[in-house]
């Protein structure tokens, strides 16, 4: 047990050392994913684990030449969440991917 405790403490210390470890969250621009990402960021901050990067996947980039009503509607919905994510995480590095 003592050996395990020592290892756990070492891993915990490494996770809390921002020069060695950072956490990159990945989400999609939808309500549930945004909510879960916020919960994750709060919990990691409580544990003093660095998290300043969020990758936003599955973002729709409609073709301006061949307009698809479904794609345009989806992007409009995503824009709402992309705006909220940008406001909530204004000091984070956000990467938006298709």
Q: What is the pLDDT of residue 1?
A: 86
The domain in which residue 88 lies consists of: 22-96
Q: Is residue 55 part of a domain?
A: yes
- Give the pLDDT confidence of 6-41 residue by residue, as tens digits: 999 999 999 999 999 999 999 999 999 999 999 999
On whether residue 35 sits in a domain, the answer given is: yes
Quote the pLDDT of residue 62. Answer: 81
Cα(9)–Cα(90) distance, integer angstroms: 32
pTM of the entire predicted model: 0.84
Which pLDDT score, from 0 to 100, does residue 42 have? 95
Cα-based angle 81, 85, 91 (whole degrees, multiple of 5): 165
Percentage of the chain with pLDDT > 70? 100
Whether 13 is covered by a domain: the verdict is no
- Find tokens 């301006």 and name the residue: 64
Q: Is residue 87 situated within a structural domain?
A: yes
Q: Residue 47 domain-assigned?
A: yes
Does pLDDT of 68 surpass 90?
Answer: no
* Number of domains the chain is built from: 1
């Amino acid at each position: 047990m003592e050996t395990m405790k020592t290892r756990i403490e070492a891993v915990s210390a490494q996770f809390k050392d921002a020069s060695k470890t950072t956490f990159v969250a990945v989400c999609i621009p939808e309500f549930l994913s945004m909510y879960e990402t916020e919960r994750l960021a709060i919990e990691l901050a409580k544990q003093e684990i660095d998290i300043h990067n969020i990758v936003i996947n599955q973002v729709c980039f409609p073709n301006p030449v061949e307009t698809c009503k479904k794609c345009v509607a989806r992007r409009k919905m995503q824009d709402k969440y992309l705006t909220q994510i940008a406001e909530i995480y204004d000091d984070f590095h956000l990467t938006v991917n298709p």
